Structure 1
Amino acid sequence: MNKKYIEDNKIAIIQRAFSEFLLLPSLIILFFLFLSYFTYSIDQVKIGWLQPVRLLLKNHFFSNSEATSSLLGAIVSGTISVTTLTTTLLLVIVQQSASSMTTQVFDQFLRRKTNQFYLGFFVGLALYSMITLATVNPPFNPVIGGTVAFSLTGVALYLLVLLMYTTIDQMRPSEIINAIHNRVLNARSRQLDMVAYTTIIKPDNNQKGKEVVTAKGGYLTYINTKKLAEFIAEHCRGSYIYFTKPIGTYVAHNEPIAEIVAPDETHIFLLAKEIIKQTTISVKRDLDQDPSYGIVQIETIAWTSTSTAKSNPSPGTFCVHTLHNILSCWSEDEPVEKDTLCGSIYYCDDTIDQLMRSFENLAVVSSESMQHQIFEAILDTFSKMLDRVPDQWQPKIERVILIMLSVMGDHVLTTALDNSLNTLAAQLRYLGEKETAEAVDIATQQLRNSVGKLNSRSTRV
């Protein structure tokens, strides 16, 4: 088992490398290989309508094979040197940014298509020039190949300028966080397509199900609920699947991910095999399928910048605003239109719970580092969103508010914090949540009593 597990991990690492970064550079390098063959063929055939152009280039730039060889040699050595130095510098920039913004920077840098294109272009150009250089052999003079190499070198030099700008631009906290934000929204759309084939209502029976366990450890990154629902409808009518782990959960080897309730053993055997086939376990969470992972990434960036490790409220505040926008976007989503086959698969979607936990955690870290700006931003988020979120989400927000009150004593009651608390209490009263509003009023008054007195965080309340 251990040997098979190691082999599976190696395959997964290779697949992840291509899905995250290597696919586009590899395709571009293959294009340059094809281009080298194409230009070599043109130089060999000497097409009639190209002859005037070829003679013009030969007379002014590529007079003989020695001149072409020297030019191509300079292009190859220069391209390799510049690419090496630039890549080293960029890695230093990324490393410096990661030291302040956590390792989430690496993930965003690798997944940017522009970064993949730049690397593939530089490596492909160097490889193209080397191949063309290898074909130079008097009396053969690759005029067309040399011209293409020379022209693309000019393009590459300009791309170096773009590469420097785009890399520095990508390292800005706002760009990193916004990139995660966009991927979270896209991942949620895909996740809702998966949820459409599931139900949150368990049948009211106490029948014990047959557990389905994983063959390897990792994160549950994908469940093809559509295929499972169709399989049950076609082969196992009357059977049910209960997924006990939401997307993004870590499961160890031989741990259960689902339970099967079926009328006979044949259905159980068939469904267990199909569940393993239609679920994906990976060594790393997948942001393209798991919006909760993106929320955790934003929370981690905010935690690192807000805590006493960095004490920088600006990125943390922007993270809270980003989570605010995510909550706002999801609040306006139409209810999931369930498929007719949804009743056979139970799945508990905990994405909103994860979003609320992130607000909780950031409130705690703002208290630890006495960053009242973060605390205010969270209060403002709830004040604006309480009357906009679906009714079933309001108790979750109220619970977070009550938890925040328990750590609020570490903050100084600034004017902005006082206004945020008063606005929140007024909004709660307007919505009829009098108990929570009263709790906010009492906590605010206790903190207000500390104003005008000499206090430390341990004696303020």
Structure 2
Amino acid sequence: MISKWQWLLSLVTRRLWFRATLISLLAVGAALLSLLISPYLPFGLSAKIGADAVDRILDIIATSMLAVTTFSLSTMVAAYSAATSNVTPRATKLLIEDSTTQNVLATFVGSFLYSLVAIITLSMGAYGERGRVVLFVVTVLVIFLIVATLLRWIDYLQRLGRVGETTDVVEDATVRAMRARRKKPYLGGQLLADPVIGIPEGCHPVFAQRIGYVQHIDTAAIAHAARSNGGRVYLSVLPGTFVDLKRPLAWCSSLDPAEDLTDIRDAFTIATERTFDQDPRFGMSVLAEIASRALSPAINDPGTAIDVIGRAVRVLSVWSEETEESKAQYPNIWVPQITPAELFNDIFVPIARDGQHMVEVQVRLQKAFAALARSADPTYVGEAMRHSADALARAEAAMAFGPDIARVRDASSLVGVTV
């Protein structure tokens, strides 16, 4: 598992200003590179390759890139607003962190700064005849980069903010979180079967100092603090858990409450929002939100809900994949597990509730339960049958047309049946 500071650094690298600043610095460096290379070039090249035209080219780049950047930013804001209204506000964070959008805007801003620095340096007469040659070559390369970025941006704008594209992004983030948790199901520690009665007597509680959601747990830091005194730590929360000032984050034994518990408390990152990184259940909840919004009377889009059901089967199939049992990296830490029951509840309960009167949604749900019941995870059979029965009961209570109820019953009869 990555440490707290590595995780915070990864959050910084996903910000737009980080990429824009990095590429802008590279662009300024490219503009000044001509001053270093020009002494090594022969005289007379400027007239042969038309380097005198670099002034006009730089003026065009400076003018056009400012307009293109402004247009791109307004398009981004419109796409984010559309995603917030038509999909879910929780998915907007992933769109903001999208690498394609950030690279495009960073390229435009960097090209604009490159042209400005080059124009200023040319006006100062710092380049000379040989420096213009290098500047001309670099400018041509920048033009190729701008053209390639524009073509990619035009193609990407056709999908930016669309329901299907945004749902793809949420599914990908959820699958990544699922695979990471399956690889380290207990965050590198050992299984704590019951976080209530599984805590030994004599342990000291570690309380949060702010109210919010647990975003990240640095199990390496917890293990280091516990190992120094031969202590043991029993986590009572997972990333995504909402905590208050009176809910213990963990229970510790054989540790100094004055010092070691502070180090353990600092290993928990608590903020006002959930994140996708260590919290696969959040991704499932966001997918359920997309389906619920599509099933609302204002939107009435059962097709999107059916699409989300198919995605839920794919995501849950990742969770049911067989993995090699890895030895506990931190044997002095005990961590609760995420159960299939929680994952099923996160995704299927809202869809079954909001789509209980739609036969096409209910039939698709039953087919999804049948597919999951045939997966490699034996616990899926019981969960699939339980949710199948609940969804059928909701449909029977909400539907008045007999043939529709019969279709749902026929579909539910296949759940748990092996072919």
TM-score range, shorter chain: 0.7 to 0.9
Listed as ranges, the matches of 1:389-408 within 5 Å are 389-408=376-395
Match of residue 271 from structure 2: 282
Q: Please point out which of 419, 422, 431 is paired with 2:410.
A: 422
Distance (Å, rounded) in 1 between the aligned partners of 2:185 and 2:199: 25
Over alpha carbons, which structure has the higher Rg?
1
Q: Please point out which of 218, 237, 242 is paired with 1:250.
A: 242
Q: Secondary structure of the equivalent of 1:284?
A: coil
Q: Secondary structure of the equivalent of 2:264?
A: helix
**1:236-272 superposed Cα distances (whole Å, 9 cap, x missing partner):** 33x4323222210122356421222x25xx4444541
- Specify whether residues 229 and 89 from structure 1 end up closer, same or farther in structure 2 by C-alpha distance, changes over 3 A only: closer
Distance (Å, rounded) in 2 between the aligned partners of 1:136 and 1:176: 45
Larger fraction in helix: 1
Letter in 1 for 2:338: D
- Contact 2:213 2:240 survives alignment (8 Å): yes
Listed as ranges, the matches of 1:17-56 within 5 Å are 18-43=13-38, 45=39, 47-48=41-42, 51=43, 53-56=45-48
- Specify whether residues 189 and 205 from structure 1 end up closer, same or farther in structure 2 by C-alpha distance, changes over 3 A only: closer
Q: Secondary structure of the equivalent of 1:302?
A: helix
Match of residue 213 from structure 1: 207
**1:292-330 superposed Cα distances (whole Å, 9 cap, x missing partner):** 111111111111111112101121111111011111221
- Specify whether residues 152 and 276 from structure 1 end up closer, same or farther in structure 2 by C-alpha distance, changes over 3 A only: same
The answer on 1:388 being equivalent to 2:375 is yes
- Contact 1:244 1:257 survives alignment (8 Å): yes
Match of residue 235 from structure 1: 228
**Normalising to structure 2: TM-score of the pair?**
0.84
The answer on 1:325 being equivalent to 2:314 is yes
- Contact 2:54 2:139 survives alignment (8 Å): no
Distance (Å, rounded) in 1 between the aligned partners of 2:136 and 2:364: 59
Distance (Å, rounded) in 2 between the aligned partners of 1:149 and 1:253: 58
Match of residue 6 from structure 1: none
Match of residue 163 from structure 1: 153
- Contact 1:200 1:347 survives alignment (8 Å): yes
- Contact 1:194 1:225 survives alignment (8 Å): no
Match of residue 189 from structure 1: 179
- Contact 1:219 1:249 survives alignment (8 Å): yes
- Contact 1:323 1:355 survives alignment (8 Å): no
**1:164-193 superposed Cα distances (whole Å, 9 cap, x missing partner):** 221322433332222222221221232242
Report sequence identity in percent.
16
Q: Secondary structure of the equivalent of 1:221?
A: strand
- Specify whether residues 384 and 417 from structure 1 end up closer, same or farther in structure 2 by C-alpha distance, changes over 3 A only: farther
Match of residue 179 from structure 1: 169
- Contact 2:185 2:337 survives alignment (8 Å): no
Distance (Å, rounded) in 2 between the aligned partners of 1:21 and 1:399: 45
Q: Secondary structure of the equivalent of 1:169?
A: coil
- Contact 1:306 1:312 survives alignment (8 Å): yes
Distance (Å, rounded) in 2 between the aligned partners of 1:321 and 1:223: 31
Q: CA deviation at 1:342?
A: 3.6
Match of residue 295 from structure 1: 284
**1:192-248 superposed Cα distances (whole Å, 9 cap, x missing partner):** 42614121235767625322112233321222334434553x3333x4323222210
Q: Secondary structure of the equivalent of 1:219?
A: strand
Q: CA deviation at 1:20?
A: 3.8
- Specify whether residues 97 and 278 from structure 1 end up closer, same or farther in structure 2 by C-alpha distance, changes over 3 A only: closer
Q: Please point out which of 73, 90, 96 is paired with 1:110.
A: 96
Match of residue 148 from structure 1: 138
**Structure 1 spans left out of the alignment, 5+ residues:** 1-11, 432-461
**Normalising to structure 1: TM-score of the pair?**
0.77
Match of residue 451 from structure 1: none
Letter in 2 for 1:40: L
Distance (Å, rounded) in 1 between the aligned partners of 2:416 and 2:185: 34
Q: CA deviation at 1:349?
A: 2.4
Letter in 1 for 2:229: C
CA RMSD of aligned residues (A): 3.1
Match of residue 78 from structure 1: 64
